[in-house]
């Protein structure tokens, strides 16, 4: 009553092949592979991008001045 033996897996594989057919399984495998490849490419592109853009005021060393009119206590 433990795990499945190799014969169990072979029978399951044969039933799946009979139900879906080899062409449909090949298409599913190709679609899954394309999705994984697209995901990996997107992850590589995302790693190359900077996480935070430099702020314009900090970059030029300018100061932004302002005045507080109403101060609310939170």
Confidence grade of residue 58 (pLDDT, cut at 50, 70, 90): low
35: in domain: yes
69: in domain: no
Is 4:13 a contact under the CB 8 Å cutoff? no
The count of other CB atoms within 10 Å of the CB of residue 3 is 5
Check the CA dihedral 40-42-48-49 and report its sign: negative
- Domains identified in the chain, total number: 1
Which is higher by pLDDT, 28 or 50? 28
Using CA atoms, how far apart are residues 46 and 40, in angstroms rounded to an integer? Answer: 10
* Assigned token pair, 50: 């900077």
- Find the domain containing 27 and state its range: 21-47
**Model pTM greater than 0.75?**
no
Per-residue model confidence as pLDDT tens digits over 3-45 = 889 999 999 999 988 998 888 888 988 999 999 999 999 988 8
43: in domain: yes
């Amino acid at each position: 009553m433990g795990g499945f033996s190799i014969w169990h897996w072979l029978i399951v594989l044969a039933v799946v092949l009979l139900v879906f057919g080899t062409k449909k399984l090949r298409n599913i495998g190709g679609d899954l592979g394309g999705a994984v490849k697209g995901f990996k490419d997107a992850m590589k592109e995302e790693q190359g991008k900077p996480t935070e853009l430099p702020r314009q005021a900090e970059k030029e060393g300018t100061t932004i001045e302002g005045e507080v009119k109403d101060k609310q206590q939170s």
